[in-house]
A and B are shown apart, each in its own frame.
Chain A
Amino acid sequence: MIRAFKTLVLRDTKLAIRVGGGAGMAVFFFLTVIAIVPLGIGPNLKLLGSIAPGMLWVALLLSALLTLDRLFQADFEDGSLDLLMTGALPLELVAAAKALSHWLTTGLPLVVAAPLLGLLLNLETSAFGPLILAMLIGTPALSFLGAIGAALTVSVRRGGLLASLLVIPFYIPVLIFGVGAAGGGGVSAVPGAGGQSLALLGAVALVSLVLGPVAAAAALRANLR
């Protein structure tokens, strides 16, 4: 069962890297959004610095949403999902493997790109560490919560937008605590709020790791039969 899980993660990661519109696209979208923010706001470095954590998080959320529809749809359309279901691996773990590979190919590259883009937005030097930490904790939640939306819309052609609409409300806690942990947003006015935000972000991530695959598997079953 562990072998099946590993081989599925490996295959999905390989496919995401090879197929166009996969891993690279989210990073480039992230880059593009952050690159045009200063053009829209104007070259006010102080203003850019203060909105940087929030902007980075919002752009990261949108980039993660962009690749969600690939999560199950490709396998649904070519019949692979049927065969994955006849394996010994429970569907919950199939969903978990796919969400994990989505994080490896989308969430992780976005976290790696974030500090570079932080420079573009004049992010305070002291905020880099907390921001990266918060993103490392928060991005798995994006993939695992996103799996629910992707599973719900698996049989809808071009369901990516619908999945995004379904998933965004679930992303709001990640956004609020993520920005708070990085020293931005409304929460940061309270002293010591960063640590508390980080703890809550961790809680959201852990809950989503457990609930995401279970809910996604239930949605897949309802869609397939």
Chain B
Amino acid sequence: MKSESLRLSASGLACERGGRVVFRGLDFEVGGGQALIVTGRNGAGKSSLLRQIAGLVDIAGGRIALDGGDAELTLPEQTHYVGHLDALKPAMSVRETALFWATYLGGADIDAALAQLDLDDLVELPVAYLSAGQRRRLALSRLLLAPRPVWLLDEPTVALDKASIARLVALMEAHLARGGIIVAATHQDMGLGSARSLVLGAPQAAGEEVSA
């Protein structure tokens, strides 16, 4: 993974959903080894912002750029997006799911990744029998299945118990220590050391973001 030279920045970013301006004039900058915690009330555009970075929502204005990444790859190809939907198939086992995403995303050792999220006892179980928390952990295991510098996490702690949240925070800290970037939308205080915060304002008063 790349070093501190990595930098994800947005300038004058605008987002429109269904003809309504969600936010506009948004600027932020995150360097390698830094986390950006995006907060804001419901409908302020947290998920839309993450999806814009992942290339899943059109950018209505401004630009997003990743400097210092792999020049051969597009920004979405260097991001892991973990959203509200788990993208899991009930008919596939935990191992098959991990193996598919690892192969598809060009990734690595699935046993180590599953063990880090405490899923190693469940590998042969079909996803249909997993609990909500276990499904979430399996969705999060994709972060480890293929090394990518930018992690986009949309409410990653939903359905997770305390021990799993601690495990996730440890993984996030390890990712930051490797020089990666994390952009997370969350209402929960994750206790990440050097996190910057971005508050998305009301739609009318968009652009009132602060960087702390």
A binds B: yes
A85 contacts which chain B residues (CB < 8 A)?
55-56, 76
Query: B106 near A79 (CB under 8 angstroms)?
Result: no
CA distance A3 to B103 in the complex (A): 7
Q: Is A32 an interface residue (CB 8 A)?
A: no
A80 contacts which chain B residues (CB < 8 A)?
87, 89
Q: Which residues of A73-117 have CB atoms within 8 Å of chain B's CB atoms?
A: 74, 77-80, 82-89
Least Cβ distance of A25 to chain B in Å?
15
Q: Is B86 an interface residue (CB 8 A)?
A: yes
Query: A11 near B76 (CB under 8 angstroms)?
Result: no
Chain A, interface SS category: helix
CA distance A87 to B76 in the complex (A): 8
Count how many chain A residues have C-beta atoms less than 8 Å from C-beta atoms of the other chain: 24
CA distance A89 to B77 in the complex (A): 9
Q: Is A18 an interface residue (CB 8 A)?
A: yes
Q: In the complex where A7-B104, A225-B57 touch, is A86 in contact with B89 (Cβ < 8 A)?
A: no
Query: B105 near A87 (CB under 8 angstroms)?
Result: yes
Q: Is A19 an interface residue (CB 8 A)?
A: yes
CA distance A18 to B128 in the complex (A): 13
Partner of A15, one of B84, B91, B103, B105: B91
A46 contacts which chain B residues (CB < 8 A)?
none
Question: Which chain B residue has the least Cβ–Cβ distance from A1?
Answer: B106
Count how many chain B residues have C-beta atoms less than 8 Å from C-beta atoms of the other chain: 29
Query: A86 near B81 (CB under 8 angstroms)?
Result: yes
CA distance A85 to B87 in the complex (A): 12
Question: Which chain A residue has the least Cβ–Cβ distance from B77?
Answer: A88
Interface string of B126-165 (1 = CB under 8 A from A): 0000000000000000100000000000000000000000
Least Cβ distance of A69 to chain B in Å?
17
Partner of A86, one of B79, B84, B85, B88: B79
Q: Is A4 an interface residue (CB 8 A)?
A: yes
Interface string of B46-90 (1 = CB under 8 A from A): 000001001111100000000000000100110111011111110
Question: Which chain B residue has the least Cβ–Cβ distance from A16?
Answer: B91
Query: B91 near A78 (CB under 8 angstroms)?
Result: no
Question: Which chain A residue has the least Cβ–Cβ distance from B91?
Answer: A18
Least Cβ distance of B158 to chain A in Å?
14
Q: Tell which of B79, B84, B85, B96 has the most Cβ of chain A within 10 Å.
A: B85
Q: Is A168 an interface residue (CB 8 A)?
A: no
Partner of B92, one of A4, A11, A77: A11
Q: In the complex where A11-B92, A14-B92, A19-B91 touch, is A83 in contact with B100 (Cβ < 8 A)?
A: no
B28 contacts which chain A residues (CB < 8 A)?
none
Query: B104 near A79 (CB under 8 angstroms)?
Result: no
Q: In the complex where A4-B104, A7-B103 touch, is A82 in contact with B81 (Cβ < 8 A)?
A: yes
Please provide the 8 A-B residue pairs with the shortest distance between their CB atoms, ordered closest to farther: A79-B85, A79-B87, A7-B103, A80-B87, A18-B91, A225-B58, A86-B76, A4-B104
Pick 21 A–B contacts, CB within 8 A, sort by A: A7-B100, A11-B92, A11-B100, A14-B92, A14-B96, A18-B91, A19-B91, A77-B85, A78-B89, A79-B86, A80-B89, A82-B81, A82-B85, A83-B81, A83-B87, A83-B142, A84-B104, A86-B54, A87-B77, A88-B73, A224-B56
